[in-house]
Structure 1
Amino acid sequence: MDGISTLEMRILDKNAEYLGISDRILMENAGKAVADATLSRYPTANNITVVAGLGNNGGDGIVAARYLLNSGRNVIIILLGRVSDVSEEPAATNVRLCNNLLRCKIVEARDEYSLLMNQDLILRWPHVIIDAVLGIGVKGRLRQPHATAIDLMNMSPAPKIAVDVPSGLDSDSGKVWDKAVKAAVTVTMHKAKRGLLLDDAKSFVGELIVADIGIPKDAELLVGAGDMLVLNYGRDANSKKGDNGKIMVIGGSKYYTGAVMFTALSALTMGADLVNVYTPRDVAHDIRSNNPSIIAIPMEGDSLDNSHVESLTNEMEKFHVIAIGPGLGLSAETQTAVLRLLENAMRLGKKVVIDADAIKAVGNAGRLDLLKGAVVTPHAGEFKSLFGIEVPTDPLERGEVAKRIVAEKAPGTIVLLKGNTDIITDGSRLRLNKTGNPGMSIGGTGDVLTGVTAYLAFKVGDLMEAASLAAFITGLAGDLAVIDKGFHITPLDVVERLPKVLSMFYDIRRIAVNSLHPQVHGFLDAAGSL
Structure 2
Amino acid sequence: MSLRGKKVFFADQVRKMDKELIEGLKMPSVSLMELASAFISKEIVSYQGKKVLILCGGGNNGGDGYSLARHLSFMGKDVKVYSAISPSSELCLLNSRLYKDYSDLIDDIEDDFDIIVDSIFGSGFHGKLSLEIKDLFDRINSFNALKIAVDIPSGINGNTGEVSPGTFKADITFAIGGLKTGYYSPEAIHFSGDIKFIDIGLLHEKESEWGMLFNKKVFPDREAFSHKGDSGKVYVIGGSALYPGAPILSSKAAIASGAGLVYCNIPEKYSKAAFSSNEDVLFRFRKDGKIDKEEISFINENIDCLICGPGC
TM-score class normalised by the smaller sequence: 0.5 to 0.7
Paired residues of 2:38 and 2:68 also in contact (CA < 8 A): yes
Name the residue aligned to 2:22.
17
Note the C-alpha offset of 1:47.
0.4
> Structure 1 residue 29 and structure 2 residue 35: aligned?
yes
| Equivalent residue for 2:202, pick from 187, 206, 215 | 215
Paired residues of 1:136 and 1:164 also in contact (CA < 8 A): yes
Note the C-alpha offset of 1:162.
0.3
Amino acid at match of 2:104: K
> Structure 1 residue 50 and structure 2 residue 51: aligned?
no
2:187 aligned counterpart, secondary structure? helix
| Equivalent residue for 2:7, pick from 2, 5, 14 | 2
For residues 125 and 73 of structure 2, the distance between their equivalents in structure 1, rounded to whole angstroms, comes to 30
Note the C-alpha offset of 1:91.
1.6
Paired residues of 1:190 and 1:213 also in contact (CA < 8 A): yes
| Equivalent residue for 2:170, pick from 183, 195, 198 | 183
Note the C-alpha offset of 1:218.
5.1
Name the residue aligned to 2:141.
154
Amino acid at match of 2:8: G
For residues 7 and 184 of structure 2, the distance between their equivalents in structure 1, rounded to whole angstroms, comes to 9
Note the C-alpha offset of 1:221.
7.7
| Equivalent residue for 1:119, pick from 98, 109, 124 | 109
Paired residues of 1:16 and 1:216 also in contact (CA < 8 A): no
Within a 5 Å distance, the mapping from 1:241-260 to structure 2 comes to none
Amino acid at match of 2:14: M
For residues 214 and 194 of structure 1, the distance between their equivalents in structure 2, rounded to whole angstroms, comes to 19
List runs of 5+ in structure 1 lacking aligned partners: 109-117, 224-406, 408-530
> Structure 1 residue 78 and structure 2 residue 82: aligned?
yes
Name the residue aligned to 1:97.
98
Paired residues of 1:51 and 1:80 also in contact (CA < 8 A): yes
Note the C-alpha offset of 1:4.
0.7
Amino acid at match of 2:98: L
Note the C-alpha offset of 1:35.
1.4
For residues 80 and 25 of structure 1, the distance between their equivalents in structure 2, rounded to whole angstroms, comes to 24
Note the C-alpha offset of 1:222.
9.8
More helix by share: 1
Note the C-alpha offset of 1:205.
0.8
For residues 134 and 63 of structure 1, the distance between their equivalents in structure 2, rounded to whole angstroms, comes to 15
2:79 aligned counterpart, secondary structure? strand
For residues 81 and 55 of structure 2, the distance between their equivalents in structure 1, rounded to whole angstroms, comes to 6
Paired residues of 1:150 and 1:167 also in contact (CA < 8 A): no
More strand by share: 2
List runs of 5+ in structure 2 lacking aligned partners: 1-5, 211-219, 221-312
Gap change, CA 1:162 and 1:125, over 3 Å in 2: same
> Structure 1 residue 106 and structure 2 residue 96: aligned?
no
Amino acid at match of 1:164: D
Note the C-alpha offset of 1:33.
2.4
For residues 80 and 23 of structure 1, the distance between their equivalents in structure 2, rounded to whole angstroms, comes to 23
Cα deviations by residue, 1:424-451 (Å, 9 ceiling, x for unpaired): xxxxxxxxxxxxxxxxxxxxxxxxxxxx
1:213 aligned counterpart, secondary structure? coil
Paired residues of 1:16 and 1:22 also in contact (CA < 8 A): no
For residues 141 and 94 of structure 1, the distance between their equivalents in structure 2, rounded to whole angstroms, comes to 26
Note the C-alpha offset of 1:158.
0.6
Note the C-alpha offset of 1:173.
2.1
Normalised TM-score (structure 2): 0.61
For residues 133 and 20 of structure 2, the distance between their equivalents in structure 1, rounded to whole angstroms, comes to 30
Amino acid at match of 2:194: E
Paired residues of 2:54 and 2:65 also in contact (CA < 8 A): yes
Note the C-alpha offset of 1:149.
2.2
Name the residue aligned to 1:39.
45
1:162 aligned counterpart, secondary structure? strand
For residues 203 and 196 of structure 2, the distance between their equivalents in structure 1, rounded to whole angstroms, comes to 19
May I ask how many residue pairs the two structures share in their alignment? 206
Note the C-alpha offset of 1:144.
4.5
Note the C-alpha offset of 1:88.
0.8
Normalised TM-score (structure 1): 0.37
For residues 74 and 215 of structure 1, the distance between their equivalents in structure 2, rounded to whole angstroms, comes to 31
Note the C-alpha offset of 1:100.
2.1
Gap change, CA 1:193 and 1:222, over 3 Å in 2: closer
Name the residue aligned to 2:250.
none
